[in-house]
Structure 1
Amino acid sequence: MSSKDIPTLTSLEIKVLVRELKQTLSGARISNIYQVSDDIFTIKLHIPSVGERELLMWIGKAIFLSSHSVPHPKRPPAICMQLRRHLRGALIVDIEQYDMDRIIDIRLVKSNRRYLLVIEIIREGNIVLVDEETNRIIAAHKYKRMRDRDIIPGGIYRRPPPRGIDPFSKEVLDALSSVINSEKGVFNVLMKYLNVPPELIREACERRGIDPKEKTYIVHDQIYGILDEIRELIKKVDEDPTPLVITTKSGELKLRTLEFMIDKEVSSKEYFPSLNAAIENVYFKRILEKIKASTTARSRKLLEDMYRKIEAQKRALREVEERVQVLFRVARVLSTHLHTIQEIIEKVSEMIMNKKLEEAQVLVRSTLKNILKRDVQVKILPDKKIVQITVNSAKIQLDPKLSAGVNISRIYDEVKSLRKSSERIRHAIEETRKRIEELEKEVIEVEESIEEKVTRRDKAWYERFRWFITSNGFLVIAGRDRKQNEVIVKKYMEPHDIVLHADIYGSPITTIKTGGKNVSSKDIEEAAEFTAVFSRAWREGLACIDVFWVKAEQVTKSPPSGEYLKRGAFMIYGKRNYLRKVKLGIALVVERSGAEVTLRVVPSAKAEAYEDRIVLVPGRIKKSTLIRTVLRYMKKLSKERSLKLFTTADQLHRDLPTGGFHVLECRGIFGGLRIDE
């Protein structure tokens, strides 16, 4: 279904939706704003007593509150940055429909400044941020000048002209009385004068038994009956809406706030507890498909550019290194024949002065060919009085005015300069490789997250960290970075806990939450392996590393007098208990709950507890390759076995250690998985 075939919210649906959103969003705070496609925005919200939700806005189509997450781009465009600057942290104080039109006003406040965020679903749609006190435009998705108003930065925000008359207003009767004898059809007349969706007019005509195409002068006074029916339908929607989605026999989807008599060719109906839920059902999957198409197309184009760039960099590196080899060999050989080269330079200098250029070329060529043991091309540049020799396509210039030693020294200087250039190119290649990995990861994340709608749930406090449960049921948490290490030590570490750290710079603070109970050596060994895996040791490709543990009461953030501790650093007092040569290994395991499956990362010491597992150690398989292969395998398996996978590429990327991988074994449902290095 193309975007043109997707229904646009009507003013009646917006009326019901706004009433639902008003109850939910009042008091919500904006966490962030993303532009996930050219015309799709999402506002990440924290709603008291509900948690995190996303308000999705498809410009010109729809708006709804979602319990599902969509992929967020890492590089926000300018409009997104403007909205973030003003609205991140803002509080939603009200939401309402403007003048029974397809316009939603969201009123916000931040630092005593009041904003109006206008969502225009009319025409091709727009998002406009307005300073509510001055009524001036701060930012807009689309800036444009129109016949009836202008949307320009700093300009006064003016509402679009009303499309018609409110059916409950006093003016509506006068307007209809002026056209009661019109030869135009009833539907066309009412569409011109009333600000109501076309479906409502057709439904009112159907319920009154009047053909919408009938000429108005024939219907005459019955047009007032149609108006009454329209009013009754709106009241019914206000008092007791029946949100549903119907699918016609032709496959067309239609949103409804009531059951309509005009819906005759219906193949299915699906009822929902709220209109927001019905809208989400219609739009969410299509938004994901649209995001996938735009994001993957953009990322793949960037990837193609990066592939071309890295190939050009590699070619440049080869050329530089080849020139370095040639120049270095030439300089070294010439150095061993310094006396001969000095004699040749003196003779050539005299020949050039006497304009015996051909003789000079022959002399240099024969001498260098004999010394270098390879063919040499020689050319005299008379204007510069320079001898240019070419060895293996590498051009070298000798200046007869300078001594042999100085000429050779200049060749060595060029070798040094080229080696520095070589290092710069190598660094540039590494940066390009990193960028390619980022883009490949982005493509994987989008493709995989589009396939599965992962329902948001309230997370436990420890799920922000790395975590697992030991064989004896103890919770183990580890920091993902210095900031989280700091948080664990300051907020979550209790005196009776056990703290572990790998004997290497760049290790997480790992804490076993003992709850005051005795911890076995097996629990400590599992936590030690977990610590080793997520230390720098995995990235360095080490097979094992020492890990020590202490009691939490030995750990403090207070440095000795006169010293300072950086973020993530801490002091340990007393004896350290070492576990020597702790092996680095993890298992990617499957946890089941009925038909729902989740992939978890646990230390390999605990792998035997899981039937379905992949045991991994440091190796050469790229992280992106591992994630892509595993998720595609699981997705295929989920379809075959009617399972629902609750893991995304982004989650796996966060949960797995940084570096390469080698597969030791695949058991259970992973028995058919193959990952080539």
Structure 2
Amino acid sequence: MPNQKRSLNVLDLLAISIELTELRDSIIDKVYTMSNSLLLRFRKESEKYFVIANSHRFGLTSYVLEHGAEGVTPLRRLIEGMRLRSIELLNFDRIVKLVFSDGYLVIELLEPWNAIYMSNDNVIRWVLRAYRSRDRVINIGLEYKPPPQSFVKPTDDRESVVKALQGYDTIGKAIARGLGLGGEIANEVCTRALIDCALPVNSINLDSVISVIRSMVNTVGRGELEPTIYYSNGAPITVTPIKYLSIKYDNIKQFRRFNEAVDEYFHEIEVREESEKKLASITGEIMRLEKSVDELMMSIEGFRKGSEELRIKAETVLNWKYVIEELLNVLRNYWSSYKDEFQELIKGMEYQGIRVKGFDPRSKVVLLDINGITVSIPLNTDVGDVINNLFNRAKELERKAKSAEEVMSQLRARIEELRAEGEKVIESIREGSIHVIYGAREWFERFRWFITSGGKLVIAGRDAAQNEVIVRHYLRPWDIFVHADIPGAAVVVIRLSNPSDNASNSDIYEAAQYAAAYSRAWVMGLSVLDVFYVRGEQVTKKAPSGEYLGKGSFMIYGTRGWIRNVELRLGIGLRIDNLSDASLIRLITAPLSMVSSLTNYYAVLRPGSRDKVNISKEIYNWFKSKVPGFTKVINLSNVVDVVPGPSIIEGFYEGSPMPWDKLESLVK
């Protein structure tokens, strides 16, 4: 199999940066380290975008470990809340520069890969790895200097490019090193120029080579991409922004965007690397046990072979017992009469089908050949004792073989246990990240939400901050504001299409059930609760004179409507929507009257005594058994977040959700 591509080249990074122009004017709101990667989260309108940087790549990723990822506090303090102005390549090298409103973040995909933040005066304010080399020092407080260039940019003037190419013996090396493009691009340029990379530079029309290089650069620069992953023997070997002619492959997979292709290609490499790191001790023990198994197999084979040989000898001696006894009597007489000549006298002697092969005078053991079977028999021993001894030795070797087989069976069982542990480790790594599908989420999905039986969108805050956002930005004067009659509850809003639209009694009751479920009453173990509702125009964030309203607090003026003794029950479900190239899985909560119309699979809960984490695990495992790929999208902590508190599961059910396009038409 060809060597697998391990990092992006400059043409790849150019394609990445061209596609990421869509992030211009987005705001960076989170910074994480995720394993060996730096993860930047950008927000643009209601959409979140995750950009990953590590030794392999830079670009958009949809595989995100938000829960458990570590924040990079110093960098976060410097850049969170800043607006992204542009993304560009630095010196046409494998260095990406993110330009923010008050500084720059540079990602160097060199050895060692690094991330450096500078203020607008080019002074380093944060660095992932401080280091000193012969050419430069990277550390906080120093002026940032990019690595010295040992190549000429292919976009430079013709004379400079030609001179750079002429500094090498072969055209392949000249393109790869003289222009800093690397081996993969050099091979593709040679293929497109119809030349051999091993040809001497002075035998090549360099203008045709330069023309091919600039054509490839311009094609990528215009965004005319054909993102492709190439496979050999079922394994991915490389990914390119345009279709390459030089790559030998069995199969290809093409993508709409290069960022998507790079993400799929390198995610598998990163999972494998993380797995290998975590599996090192398990792999070492498996190798040690497999070596022991191999040694035992050889021992068992030796024991069995030895046992069989001894058994054959014992049976042979048993069958020839009387002839052997007669022969031994003859030999004993010879020994008593002719000790000095005994060895010569008996050598080659034959007696009724038995041939004497030799004699050891020190141990007085005679070597006999009986029908091709060689046996050693002491001259002065009883033949019956010899037979018993041979059978006993055969049994002992058989016992050792069985004992070794038992040990080997235990070792193999342990190896299987370790392999199963390894699979769980790999699965946990895959499950640890959630798969983000960009552009498929609606604005209201940042909140808790459901659709009422009357087709109204209901949104609810997940915490005090979201309660604040909903009241300030999403509650309109004609909407219906719903709240449980208890401190510490979610803001719930029924969104109406226009001032003349109305919510039915069923709509209000369902919203009241939702408000009661996501209130402190659930944690307190209450079974019913009163809920009130008002028009949006009756809710304000303005405090009375001399008073202060904290985050998530508000004032209600005028008459309230009431729903008394609202029962606390909740449905938690999974919804699966099939897109053109993926399945979108959503975790949705809703009142019991609507959960089956919104989800494919759901659980029904009421307040109880079981810990919410244990309840969540049971729900998570049931969803996992029903939906392939569920764990790639939703992790356990997501389920924990939607369970209101200690609960009892009333049951698990299957639903029949309305089509997503119908749901979208209701909320517009």
Whole-angstrom CA distance in 2 between matches of 1:274 and 1:663 = 43
Alpha carbons of structure 1 residues 550 and 230: separation in structure 2 relative to 1, 3 Å: closer
Whole-angstrom CA distance in 1 between matches of 2:538 and 2:134 = 73
Q: Which residue of 1 aligns with 2:43?
A: 46
Whole-angstrom CA distance in 2 between matches of 1:598 and 1:578 = 32
Q: Residues 270-303 of structure 1, C-alpha deviation per residue, up to 9 Å, x if partnerless?
A: 2334433332332245456767898999xxxxxx
- Secondary structure in 2 matching 1:82: helix
1:87 to 79, 86, 93: 79
> Between Structure 1 and Structure 2, how many residues are aligned?
497
1:583 to 567, 575, 590: 567
* Larger relative contact order, structure 1 or 2 (CA cutoff 8 Å, min sep 6): 2
- Secondary structure in 1 matching 2:77: helix
1:472 to 437, 447, 454: 454
Q: Which residue of 1 aligns with 2:99?
A: 107
Structure 1: unaligned runs, 5 residues or longer: 298-442, 671-677
Whole-angstrom CA distance in 1 between matches of 2:430 and 2:164 = 54
Q: Residues 632-664 of structure 1, C-alpha deviation per residue, up to 9 Å, x if partnerless?
A: 33233223xx9998655454333331x212111
Query: 2:518 matched to 1:534?
Result: yes
Alpha carbons of structure 1 residues 95 and 613: separation in structure 2 relative to 1, 3 Å: closer
- Secondary structure in 1 matching 2:104: strand
Q: Which residue of 2 aligns with 1:34?
A: 32
Larger CA Rg, structure 1 vs 2: 2
Q: Which residue of 2 aligns with 1:626?
A: 615
Q: Which residue of 2 aligns with 1:225?
A: 205
Q: Which amino acid aligns with 2:30?
A: N
Identity score, percent: 28
Worse-superposed segment, 236-245 or 141-150: 236-245
Q: Which residue of 2 aligns with 1:419?
A: none
Query: 2:186 matched to 1:201?
Result: yes
Q: Please tell me the root mean square deviation across aligned C-alpha atoms, in Å.
A: 3.9
Aligned-pair distance for 1:84?
Answer: 2.0
Aligned-pair distance for 1:601?
Answer: 0.9
Matches within 5 A, 1:333-352: none
Aligned-pair distance for 1:153?
Answer: 1.6
Q: Which residue of 2 aligns with 1:598?
A: 586
Q: Residues 507-548 of structure 1, C-alpha deviation per residue, up to 9 Å, x if partnerless?
A: 233333455445444333322222221111111122223334
Alpha carbons of structure 1 residues 528 and 295: separation in structure 2 relative to 1, 3 Å: farther
Whole-angstrom CA distance in 1 between matches of 2:195 and 2:480 = 80
Q: Which amino acid aligns with 1:629?
A: E
1:283 to 251, 266, 284: 266
Whole-angstrom CA distance in 2 between matches of 1:255 and 1:70 = 21
Matches within 5 A, 1:59-74: 60-66=55-61, 68=62, 70-72=64-66
Query: 2:226 matched to 1:238?
Result: no
Aligned-pair distance for 1:207?
Answer: 5.5
Q: Which amino acid aligns with 2:264?
A: N
Whole-angstrom CA distance in 1 between matches of 2:507 and 2:201 = 86
Query: 2:179 matched to 1:164?
Result: no
Q: Which amino acid aligns with 1:109?
A: S
Alpha carbons of structure 1 residues 263 and 613: separation in structure 2 relative to 1, 3 Å: closer
Aligned-pair distance for 1:8?
Answer: 0.9
1:123 to 88, 106, 111: 111
Structure 2: unaligned runs, 5 residues or longer: 281-425, 657-668
Contact 1:244–1:272 at 8 Å: present in 2 too? yes
Whole-angstrom CA distance in 1 between matches of 2:266 and 2:128 = 20
Q: Which amino acid aligns with 2:612?
A: K
Aligned-pair distance for 1:455?
Answer: 0.8
Whole-angstrom CA distance in 1 between matches of 2:439 and 2:247 = 37
Aligned-pair distance for 1:623?
Answer: 2.6
1:141 to 91, 112, 128: 128
Contact 1:7–1:253 at 8 Å: present in 2 too? no
Contact 1:25–1:47 at 8 Å: present in 2 too? yes
Q: Which residue of 2 aligns with 1:508?
A: 490
Q: Which residue of 2 aligns with 1:454?
A: 436
Contact 1:242–1:258 at 8 Å: present in 2 too? yes
1:272 to 240, 255, 260: 255
Alpha carbons of structure 1 residues 157 and 447: separation in structure 2 relative to 1, 3 Å: same
Q: Which residue of 1 aligns with 2:527?
A: 543
Contact 1:35–1:73 at 8 Å: present in 2 too? no
- Secondary structure in 2 matching 1:221: helix
Whole-angstrom CA distance in 2 between matches of 1:669 and 1:572 = 38
Whole-angstrom CA distance in 1 between matches of 2:616 and 2:549 = 37
Contact 1:292–1:447 at 8 Å: present in 2 too? no
Q: Which residue of 2 aligns with 1:344?
A: none
Whole-angstrom CA distance in 2 between matches of 1:220 and 1:489 = 70
- Secondary structure in 2 matching 1:263: coil
Q: Residues 334-389 of structure 1, C-alpha deviation per residue, up to 9 Å, x if partnerless?
A: xxxxxxxxxxxxxxxxxxxxxxxxxxxxxxxxxxxxxxxxxxxxxxxxxxxxxxxx
Alpha carbons of structure 1 residues 154 and 621: separation in structure 2 relative to 1, 3 Å: same
- Secondary structure in 2 matching 1:117: strand
Q: Which residue of 1 aligns with 2:284?
A: none
Whole-angstrom CA distance in 2 between matches of 1:175 and 1:571 = 73
**TM-score normalised by structure 2 residue count:** 0.64
Whole-angstrom CA distance in 2 between matches of 1:637 and 1:120 = 43
Alpha carbons of structure 1 residues 248 and 511: separation in structure 2 relative to 1, 3 Å: closer
Alpha carbons of structure 1 residues 203 and 227: separation in structure 2 relative to 1, 3 Å: farther
Whole-angstrom CA distance in 2 between matches of 1:259 and 1:607 = 46
Whole-angstrom CA distance in 2 between matches of 1:643 and 1:145 = 46
Aligned-pair distance for 1:268?
Answer: 0.8
Matches within 5 A, 1:261-660: 261-264=245-248, 266-287=249-270, 448=431, 450=433, 453-457=435-439, 459-514=441-496, 515=498, 516-552=500-536, 555-557=539-541, 563-572=547-556, 576-593=560-577, 597-606=585-594, 612-639=601-628, 647-657=634-644, 659-660=645-646
- Secondary structure in 1 matching 2:262: helix
Contact 1:587–1:614 at 8 Å: present in 2 too? yes
Whole-angstrom CA distance in 2 between matches of 1:577 and 1:94 = 51
Contact 1:8–1:61 at 8 Å: present in 2 too? yes
Aligned-pair distance for 1:235?
Answer: 1.9
Q: Which amino acid aligns with 1:615?
A: V
Whole-angstrom CA distance in 1 between matches of 2:277 and 2:53 = 16
Aligned-pair distance for 1:175?
Answer: 5.5
Aligned-pair distance for 1:552?
Answer: 4.9
Worse-superposed segment, 598-607 or 525-534: 598-607
Contact 2:193–2:208 at 8 Å: present in 1 too? no
Whole-angstrom CA distance in 2 between matches of 1:572 and 1:207 = 72
Contact 1:12–1:197 at 8 Å: present in 2 too? no
Aligned-pair distance for 1:497?
Answer: 4.4
Q: Residues 242-273 of structure 1, C-alpha deviation per residue, up to 9 Å, x if partnerless?
A: 43221123734212344444323x11122334
- Secondary structure in 1 matching 2:52: strand
Query: 2:44 matched to 1:56?
Result: no
Q: Which residue of 1 aligns with 2:14?
A: 15
Q: Which amino acid aligns with 2:91?
A: D
Q: Which amino acid aligns with 1:225?
A: N
Alpha carbons of structure 1 residues 166 and 534: separation in structure 2 relative to 1, 3 Å: closer
Aligned-pair distance for 1:171?
Answer: 4.0
Contact 1:616–1:662 at 8 Å: present in 2 too? yes
